[in-house]
Structure 1
Amino acid sequence: MSVLTVVAAVLVFVCAAVWGTVGVLGVTGTLPGNRWFGVRSPETGKSEAAFVLANKVAGPGFIGAAVILVMGGVLTLGVDSGWSVLFALAALVVAVVTVGVVSGLGIRAAQALPDESGSGCDCCSGGDDHGATASACGDEKAGSPADDCGQSSCGSCALQGMCETDSAAGKR
């Protein structure tokens, strides 16, 4: 057994331990908010509830990635061949893709949480300032609900059919 084989196996076992631990803590809701582990994005950083939800959703995938890595490590050590390192490499690639996919699902779950900022405006997926154009959020002081057309990327007015051009409106 070569040194490269042992190093590759140890690497995948360490990654499996980390992702398995993150997965279990995520599923149980006990993963503390941090800068290094779990699903981290601007969406999950908005609140503790968003971080916990995203990691609960992604947790089973993290655990699955850990299982894949353990199997790859066992195959790497168990097969007596110069090519056995490929098992570790393949397991690492599949695990990284798995973690990426389930992290995306966790982020989508966090985006679905209502906005906790207290603004009452949950029409946007993020980033747009409706302070100047409160009409998209139903403010009584605002003018026409179409006042923010072309000003916001949230699309709330477009979804309500208010952002039509004159030519599009005339075709009805």
Structure 2
Amino acid sequence: MKVLHRTGVAVFVATCLATSAWAGPGPARHDDESFSAGEPGDAKKPARIVQVTMGESDGKMTFTPDKVEVKKDEQIRFVLRNNGELDHEFILATTADNLKHAEAMKKNPDMEHADPNGIRLAPKKAGEIVWKFTKLGTFEYSCLIPGHRQAGMIGAVVVK
């Protein structure tokens, strides 16, 4: 495993010899280059900062805030903090894509994410994603670790 540092946040990238995202030893991963919620942002360009906190409370798992409004073609720097006691993810996509991904996560709960639209954070850790919303509509961010989405860990991004 190789560790890359980008804007002060460690990004873990697994090196894999297999051409298939699901092949080879070790945890499964995926490398889809098309994204349903827009495109990776440019960390060198200005972005509006949106802070999102992840955690558990009263038997629920939450994102705060659970709704963000953005303008089409706006670049957002999601500054993410896991204040919980469990690992959590922030995966940005359409609901349909996240539901499909959630099914894959049930079969491979230790799946490694090296995608620009998602990050997994250990308890008390922070990270960030820079994203440009090039499409109109409602998208979501959710935690796809088995059981977390079902416990309420879903947020919405409305692009106008």
Taking structure 2 as the reference length, the TM-score comes to 0.23
Q: With structure 1 as the length reference, what TM-score do the two structures score?
A: 0.22
**Higher strand proportion:** 2
Q: Relative contact order (alpha carbons < 8 A, sep ≥ 6): 1 or 2 greater? A: 2
